[in-house]
Amino acid sequence: VHSGEFESLIQAQEQLIKRQQVTQRLSDQNFRLANLDTLTDLPNRRAFFLQAQAMVTSHKTDNLRFAVAVIDLDGFKGINDCHGHGAGDEILVHVARRLETLPTDEVFSARLGGDEFALLVTGAIDETALNDLGLRICRMLGQKYHLSRVDATISASVGFAMCPDAGVDAERLLENADYALMHAKQNRRG
C-alpha cells in the first residue's frame, strides 16, 4: 500500500513539475512577444521604454550618461505607395538588420512603430561622437536595399537628446530626440 501511494506521489510531483515548466515557457514566450516587434525582431516601444527607464535610474544612482536617438526613414511612404506594403516591410526588416550591426554594448536598438526606430546610446558620448554616429547611421541606412521585387534607395534622418542635458526621464528624452529629428528633417534631411 505504501509503495503504491509513494509511486502515486512521485507521479503527481512529476506532472506538477511538467506543468510548471510549460507555464514558465508560456510566461517567457508572452514576455518576449510583449517586448518584441514581430516584423523586425527588434525590441518594441514597450521594451524601449523599459530599457530607457532603467538607464534613467542608472543615471540617477551612478551618473550614467546616455543619449536617446530617434531615426525616421525619408522616402519610406513612397516605397509603400509605389511598391506596396510588402516592399515596405522588407525595408523595415533590412533597416533592423543594419541597426543590429552597431556595437550592442553601446547601442540598444528598438522599433517604435511605422518607419520610426530609436536607439539608446552609452559609452563615450559627446556632441561630436553623436554627430559622427548620426552620420554613420544615415550613410548605412542610405545604402541601396535589394528587395525581392525591386531595388530601392531611401535615406534616414536622426535626432539625439542627451541625458541629463535634454531631460532626466524617458518620455522627455524621447520627445526632445523627436524634436531634434524634426529639426534635422527640416534643415538637413538625411
Using CA atoms, how far residue 182 sits from 60, 137, 158, in Å, is 28, 17, 9
Q: Which positions ≥6 away from 18 have C-beta within 8 Å?
A: none
Q: Residue 124 CB: number of other CB atoms within 10 A?
A: 7
Residue type, 149: R
Catalytic residues: 115
